[in-house]
């Protein structure tokens, strides 16, 4: 569904992505893991067309995304930190995004309802707490039943109840033939939600396979431990060199 | 584009700054006409204030607004909208908001107090200056991610066109006064949107002698109507060129 080939990006002298090669297949869910600054968010922003890569091609459904915008009809995106115009009300944000999307046939308002955002329609964005903003971001991402869901640290900043609501929603949608791309630092969440893992470090993909295989390889039962042992192995390899 | 512009305009109009700007223009216009019994002189005094204030407010407000709407642009970029659409919606709504302030603050009172040809041209010149300096502010804003730097560049544009450039012209005329400089000054005036706007009105006010050397020459060279058309065309170029250059940059920018 999404193919990324030979993707490279530099910010000034800093090489953030180094010829990334990865496919995100239809109907699978991917956990993107990596230390801070490993290039996860930059990769996501490249897929969304917010950051223009220096080299390489990204295609969505076989079509290259450069100079195209219509493919974003297929994508629901929840940013790491949702930032919204201060003066707008919650209701207006939803109205505006609805206005912009062409496909409005079946809206998914489950999250708006469960996060109780309807009651807060008239609150202005700058009065909201970080967690409530995350709720708005999540509801917006799921609103149009997109085929591809990109969630950048979805559970960060949410209260435990909201986290459970969101996780249940993701699990329910996973069975509906969606592609999920989730970054997080909370391994237990990813263990529950995703089936594949893409491990990024310093702009390179070091591991890309199913979680089951990773656990088998390392002999660990939990994703967190498995990843930790991969990281240690990489460190040792680096020391040998 | 209109859909997006609607929401941006709503956001801008809630901003008290545009209200204050409108109020300021209203006060200035009324006081100029009540202080001076000669409408020609009043128009001239108003012109001098407008030539300073309109560019300054347009360029600073636009730059600040552009940076404040970074979040908004981010939000839109994840949606199926092209970058050009977002860009032009931003330009359209900011210039419309400032133009509305100008129309309410200057144009309507002038038409009520002193309905004449020169008032009409003052209105046109002010609107064109708004479009030019909003475009220049976009050029300053897309070139850097640093808000303070962009405001600095924007202010520099303003200083350059209001103060430094006039000094340069004077310097050239003074030091090369032994040579025929008519065409050179004409070309130099075309390179400054504020001078172009000034010329439109002065030609119509029949006070071109007051503007000194260039004004007199300009009138001589063109006769007034050709001069006005020439100035208006060049002002449009001054709005379009930075606008399109900044767009090319914006389309390739990392947000």
Report how many helices (DSSP H) and strands (DSSP E) chain A contains, helices first: 8, 10
Contact between chains at A69 and B70 (C-beta distance less than 8 A): no
In the stretch 86-145 of chain B, residues with CB closer than 8 A to chain A read none
Contact between chains at A51 and B254 (C-beta distance less than 8 A): yes
Mean pLDDT of chain A: 89
Nearest CA in chain A to B83: A69
Chain A residues touching residue B4 (CB < 8 angstroms): 96, 100
pLDDT single digits (tens) B187-226: 888 889 998 888 888 777 766 555 556 666 666 666 667 7
Sign of the torsion formed by the C-alpha atoms of A207, A209, A212 and A217: negative
Interface size, chain A vs chain B, as Cβ–Cβ contacts under 8 Å: 70
Determine the structural domain holding residue B59 and report its residue range: 2-251
pLDDT single digits (tens) A189-223: 898 889 999 999 888 888 888 888 888 888 888 88
Question: Which tokens sit at B91?
Answer: 């330009």
pLDDT at B186 (0 to 100): 78
Chain B residues touching residue A79 (CB < 8 angstroms): 74, 78
Quick one: which H or E segment has residue A237?
Answer: helix A223-240
Please calculate the CA angle B70-B73-B77 and round it to the nearest 5 degrees.
140
3-state percent breakdown (helix, strand, coil) of chain A, nearest 5: 40, 25, 35
Sign of the torsion formed by the C-alpha atoms of A155, A159, A165 and A168: positive
Contact between chains at B80 and A101 (C-beta distance less than 8 A): yes
- C-alpha span between B49 and B72 (Å, rounded): 34
CA distance A99 to chain B (A): 7
pLDDT at B209 (0 to 100): 55
- Mean pLDDT value across residues B175-182: 81
Greatest alpha-carbon span in chain B: 62
- CB neighbour list of residue A81: distance below 8 Å, 6 or more residues apart: A130
pLDDT single digits (tens) B61-106: 999 999 988 878 888 888 999 999 999 999 999 999 999 999 999 9
A99: nearest CB among B3, B75, B77? B3
* DSSP symbols for B2-14: HHHHHHHHHHHHT
Question: Is B204 within 8 Å of B114 (Cβ atoms)?
Answer: no
Chain B residues touching residue A52 (CB < 8 angstroms): 252-254
Contact between chains at A87 and B77 (C-beta distance less than 8 A): no
Q: What are phi and psi of B240, to 5 degrees?
A: -75, -40
pLDDT at B210 (0 to 100): 59
pLDDT single digits (tens) B116-159: 888 888 999 999 999 999 999 999 999 888 889 999 999 999 99
Q: Is B206 on the interface with A (CB under 8 A)?
A: no
Q: Is B81 on the interface with A (CB under 8 A)?
A: yes
Chain B residues touching residue A72 (CB < 8 angstroms): 78-81
Alpha helix ranges (H) inside chain B: 2-13, 16-35, 39-68, 70-77, 83-102, 108-113, 117-142, 147-159, 165-175, 182-190, 193-205, 213-222, 224-251
Nearest CA in chain A to B67: A85
What single-letter DSSP state applies at residue A102?
S
Question: Is A139 within 8 Å of A96 (Cβ atoms)?
Answer: no
Work out the burial of residue A227: count CB atoms within 10 Å of its CB; fewer than 13 is exposed, 13-18 middle, 19 or more buried: buried
Contact between chains at B69 and A85 (C-beta distance less than 8 A): yes
Q: What are phi and psi of A22, to 5 degrees?
A: -160, 145
B70: nearest Cα among A81, A146, A127: A81
Count structural domains, chain B: 1
Quick one: which H or E segment has residue A224?
Answer: helix A223-240
CA distance A136 to chain B (A): 12
Q: Is B255 on the interface with A (CB under 8 A)?
A: yes
pTM of this structure:
0.88
Question: Which tokens sit at B63?
Answer: 């730059």
Q: Is B71 on the interface with A (CB under 8 A)?
A: yes
Q: Is A75 on the interface with B (CB under 8 A)?
A: yes
- Mean pLDDT value across residues A48-60: 92
Contact between chains at B78 and A96 (C-beta distance less than 8 A): no
Chain B residues touching residue A69 (CB < 8 angstroms): 80-83
- C-alpha span between B251 and A33 (Å, rounded): 30
Contact between chains at A45 and B74 (C-beta distance less than 8 A): no
pLDDT single digits (tens) A108-141: 888 999 999 989 999 998 899 999 999 999 999 9
Contact between chains at B78 and A72 (C-beta distance less than 8 A): yes
For chain A, list the domains and their CATH numbers. Answer: 2-240 (3.40.50.300)
pLDDT band at A157 (very low <50, low <70, confident <90, very high): confident
How many C-beta neighbours within 10 Å does residue A63 have? 11
- C-alpha span between A105 and A163 (Å, rounded): 28
Question: What's chain A's Rg over C-alpha atoms?
Answer: 18
Contact between chains at B82 and A69 (C-beta distance less than 8 A): yes
Q: Which of B68, B78, B255 is most worth mutating to test chain A (most A CB atoms within 10 A of its CB)? A: B78
Chain B residues touching residue A97 (CB < 8 angstroms): 75, 79
Q: What is the ipTM of this complex?
A: 0.84
């Amino acid at each position: 569904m999404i193919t990324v080939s030979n993707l490279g990006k530099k910010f000034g002298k800093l090489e953030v992505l180094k010829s990334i090669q990865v496919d995100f297949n239809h109907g699978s869910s991917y956990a993107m893991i990596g230390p801070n600054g490993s290039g996860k968010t930059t990769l996501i922003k490249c897929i969304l067309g917010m950051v223009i890569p220096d080299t390489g091609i990204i295609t969505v459904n076989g079509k290259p995304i450069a100079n195209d915008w219509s493919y974003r009809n297929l994508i629901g995106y929840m940013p790491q930190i949702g930032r919204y115009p201060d003066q707008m009300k919650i209701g207006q944000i939803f109205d505006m995004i609805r206005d912009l999307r062409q496909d409005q046939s079946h809206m998914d308002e489950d999250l708006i309802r469960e996060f109780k955002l309807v009651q807060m329609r008239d609150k202005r964005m700058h009065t909201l707490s970080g967690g409530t903003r995350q709720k708005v971001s999540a509801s917006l991402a799921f609103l149009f039943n997109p085929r591809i869901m990109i969630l950048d640290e979805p559970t960060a900043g949410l209260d435990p109840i909201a986290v459970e609501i969101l996780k249940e929603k993701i699990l329910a949608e996973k069975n509906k033939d969606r592609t999920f791309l989730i970054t997080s630092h909370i391994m237990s969440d990813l263990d529950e939600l995703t089936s594949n893992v893409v491990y990024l470090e310093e702009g390179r993909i070091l591991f890309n396979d199913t979680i089951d295989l990773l656990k088998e390889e390392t002999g660990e039962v939990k994703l967190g431990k498995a990843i930790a042992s991969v990281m240690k192995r990489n460190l040792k390899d680096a020391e040998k060199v | 584009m209109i859909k997006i512009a609607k929401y941006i305009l709503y956001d801008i109009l809630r901003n008290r700054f545009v209200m204050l700007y409108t109020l300021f223009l209203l006060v200035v216009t009324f006081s100029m006409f009540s202080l001076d019994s000669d409408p020609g002189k009043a128009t001239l005094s108003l012109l001098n204030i407008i030539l300073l204030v309109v560019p300054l407010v347009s360029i600073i407000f636009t730059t600040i607004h552009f940076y404040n709407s970074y979040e908004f642009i981010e939000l839109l970029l994840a949606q199926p909208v092209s970058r050009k659409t977002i860009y032009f919606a931003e330009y359209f709504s900011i210039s419309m908001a400032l133009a509305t302030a100008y129309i309410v603050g200057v144009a309507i009172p002038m038409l009520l107090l002193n309905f004449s040809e020169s008032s009409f041209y003052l209105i046109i010149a002010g609107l064109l200056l708004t479009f030019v300096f909003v475009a220049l502010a976009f050029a300053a804003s897309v070139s850097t991610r640093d808000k303070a730097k962009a405001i600095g560049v924007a202010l520099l544009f303003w200083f350059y066109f209001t103060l430094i450039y006039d000094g340069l012209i004077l310097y050239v005329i003074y030091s090369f006064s032994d040579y025929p400089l008519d065409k050179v000054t004409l070309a130099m005036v075309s390179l400054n949107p504020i001078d172009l706007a000034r010329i439109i009105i002065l030609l119509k006010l029949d006070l071109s002698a007051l503007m000194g050397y260039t004004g007199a020459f300009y009138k001589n060279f063109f006769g007034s109507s050709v001069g006005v058309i020439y100035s208006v065309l060049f002002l449009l170029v001054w709005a379009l060129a930075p606008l399109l250059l900044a767009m090319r940059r914006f389309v390739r920018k990392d947000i």
